[in-house]
Amino acid sequence: MIWCIVTKMFTNSHGSFVITLRLTALILIHILRIPLLAEAPPNIILFYVDDLGWSDVGYQGSTFYETPHIDQLASEGIRFTSAYSPCPVCSPSRASLMTGKSTARVGFTGHITAIGRHRYPTHGRIIPPEDHMQLPLEEISLARALKSAGYVSASIGKWHLGAEGYWPLDHGFDVNVAGYTQGMPASYFFPYRTTRYPWNPVVKNLVGGKEGEYLTDRLTDEAIRFMDAHHNRQFFLYLTHYAVHTPIEAPKTLIDKYKEKLKIDDSQFNAGYAAMIETVDNSVGRIMEALERLKIDKKTIVIFSSDNGGESQVTNNRPLRAGKGYLYEGGIRVPLVLWYPGVINKGSVTDIPVIGTDLYPTITELAGEKSQPGKQLDGHSLVSLFTDPSAWSPRDLFWYYPHYSPQAKRPGSAIRSGKYKLIENYDPPSVELYDLAIDQGETINLAEKMPDRTIKMGRKIHTWLQESGAKLHRKNPSYQPESAFSKPPSAELRPD
């Protein structure tokens, strides 16, 4: 029908030729988007890896870590070189992903299983806000939104968004495997139990298994089982590996392989962590093979990302500064790849800054799900970046992390505006401004040299917090400088 319209337009008088040409161009642009909108909505697979750093994949230049399947995904899709997590630690990032809202708006700014000084510091300059310890059930989760579009959904792996009663099934998922309160597994090996962590003795919601079984492999088995059962209808698979979070455990053969590699490549330092990354890469490879076997690879979008930056104690995040728990680039810049055959051009690359919060509206747009009445999203759909980049509107990105992370113990907020990034630290109070275009490693603080820009960006943060309805931190009236952090961390402080 569209071709008939185009033909008729060209039969008009010569005087209307220019207008006709313009209209034709608009129609052709529309035609290019038809595969997204006219065909059946795609299956959606979201790999959300735990603690995987921006530099921890081959396509980002790593010579030590081996990730051929992830690299192939990147070469066949679009990779985002300036992608960010919504928070430098995991629970808030996952809450933002699941709701499409900033951590400030959803009121979920700290990771839920870290108590002690992370949430209730006795000697800090600030008192963190009393944020949510679970994802509120009234939030329209990604699974719940997709259910209204006819999708069946599975959460396989880490959840970390609340105690029992707030697990995946309570938030609209049809299947939950191994998702529960804790953010790390008791053990990566069957029977997934340990006596090391009395507060986390066993991986829950994971039945059966066999001797020698490795958790990342088992979760992949469960994911493929779900795909086999539901490949004849639209499905959403949230494959959220516990890897590469501690404890650092992996098959011995892989660890030995990287111990040998350390002898000739000193760009990294942890063979066990490298082995864990390879198990995640193998998972990606197996899922892609299953898509091809089921003949649904042409109608599936695959998304690969991480919940925060790499943990500095187990990986080198260079050229980025610091790591998980920090508002520096090493803590919040993450890998992000989207793969969608026939829609996304192979080998596409964009340096436009995006954030994990954007995945909610991206996925719901692809699924054809209409926005819920009254639902306010902070994320922006990324669809235009691979269909019509000229339609993208630049915007600022914001972070609010008013907690004392186990890694950094530096609460603060941040904004990225164009090539500039500003960090406002709350304890001790300070401001840092960086030009990321020339200083990706955040080594030259421009705050004093550029006071006007510093003030302007700082005000933007404060306005954003107010407009988001953020639960704000407050000054600690009992703060005494001489006693700040004079005591060892609380024994109650648990890894996230």
Which residue has 């960086």 as its token pair? 434
**What was the pLDDT predicted at 200?**
83
Question: What whole-number distance in Å separates Cα of residue 315 and Cα of residue 320?
Answer: 12
Asked whether residue 408 is assigned to any structural domain, the reply reads yes
Asked if residue 405 and residue 388 are part of one domain, the reply reads: no
Helical packing angle, 271-293 and 68-76, nearest 10° = 50
Q: How do 126-127 and 354-355 pair as beta strands? A: unpaired
Q: What is the pLDDT of residue 375?
A: 77
Same domain, 462 and 405: yes
231 and 341 share a domain? yes
C-alpha–C-alpha distance, residues 390 and 393, integer Å: 8
Report the residue count for the chain: 496
User: What is the structure's pLDDT at 482?
Assistant: 59
Q: Which of 69, 123, 132, 160 is the catalytic position?
A: 160
**Amino acid letter at 37?**
L
Structure tokens at 194: 């340990």
| Number of domains, the chain | 2
Q: Which residue has the tokens 């300036």?
A: 82
CA distance 24 to 8: 11
- If 0-12 CB within 10 Å is exposed, 13-18 middle and 19+ buried, where does residue 301 land? buried
Q: Scan for tokens 């080198």, then name that residue.
A: 316
Predicted local confidence at residue 6, as pLDDT: 37
Q: Establish if 14 belongs to a structural domain.
A: no
Domain containing residue 192: 43-395
Is 25 inside a domain boundary? no
User: Count of CB atoms within 10 A of residue 120's CB?
Assistant: 14
Same domain, residue pair 388 and 424: no
Helices (H), 38-130: 68-76, 90-99, 103-106
pLDDT digits (tens, 9 = 90+) for 285-320: 999 999 999 999 999 999 999 999 999 999 999 999
> Which pLDDT score, from 0 to 100, does residue 469 have?
97
Same domain, 240 and 345: yes
Q: Which of 395, 419, 454 is the last residue of a domain?
A: 395
Cα angle 494, 221, 301; round to 5: 90
The verdict on residue 9 lying in a domain is no
Q: What is the pLDDT of residue 372?
A: 64
Contact in structure between 135 and 119 (CB atoms under 8 Å): no
**93 & 215 share domain:** yes
Answer yes or no: is 490 within a domain. no
**Residue 34 domain flag:** no
Catalytic residue among 90, 118, 132, 473: 90
CA pair distance 145, 309, nearest whole angstrom = 28
Give the whole-angstrom CA distance, residue 187 versus residue 215: 8
The residue out of 395, 429, 452 marking a domain boundary is: 395
Reduce the DSSP state of residue 467 to 3 states and report it.
helix
Give the β-pairing of 300-306 and 43-49.
parallel
- The CATH number that applies at residue 281 is 3.40.720.10
Q: What is the pLDDT of residue 409?
A: 87
pTM for this entry: 0.90
Task: Assess whether 56 and 139 both reside in one domain.
Answer: yes
Q: How far apart are CA 356 and CA 161, in angstroms?
A: 16
pLDDT tens over the chain, length 496 residues? 333 333 333 334 444 444 444 444 444 444 444 344 447 899 999 999 999 999 999 999 999 999 999 999 999 999 999 999 999 999 999 999 999 999 999 999 998 877 666 677 778 999 999 999 999 999 999 999 999 999 999 999 999 999 999 999 999 999 999 999 999 999 999 999 988 888 888 999 999 999 999 999 999 999 999 999 999 999 999 999 999 999 999 999 999 999 999 999 999 999 999 999 999 999 999 999 999 999 999 999 999 999 999 999 999 999 999 999 999 999 999 999 999 999 999 999 999 999 999 999 999 999 998 766 567 899 999 999 999 999 999 999 999 999 998 888 899 999 999 999 999 999 999 999 999 999 999 999 999 999 999 999 999 999 999 999 999 999 999 888 754 444 444 333 344 5
- 33 exposure class (CB count in 10 Å sphere: 0-12, 13-18, 19+): middle
Structure tokens at 92: 């808030």
Taking each continuous run of H as one helix and of E as one strand, the counts in the chain are: 13, 16
Give me the pLDDT at residue 369, please: 86
> Is 30 inside a domain boundary?
no
4 included as an active-site residue: no
Q: Do 417 and 377 belong together in one domain?
A: no
Give the pLDDT confidence of 451-466 residue by residue, as tens digits: 999 999 999 999 999 9
Same domain, 325 and 428: no
Does residue 424 belong to any structural domain of this protein?
yes
* CB distance 65 to 274 below 8 Å: yes
Does residue 136 sit in the same domain as residue 219? yes
pLDDT of residue 199: 80
241 is catalytic: no
Report the pLDDT value the prediction gives residue 488, as an integer from 0 to 100.
Answer: 46
Last residue of a domain, one of 347, 375, 395: 395
C-alpha torsion 214→133→354→413, nearest 10: -120
> Domain holding 412: CATH number?
3.30.1120.10
Distance (Å, whole) CA 242 – CA 51:
9
| Selection from 219, 261, 223 nearest residue 243 by Cα | 219
Same domain, 336 and 211: yes
Does residue 299 share a domain with residue 234?
Answer: yes
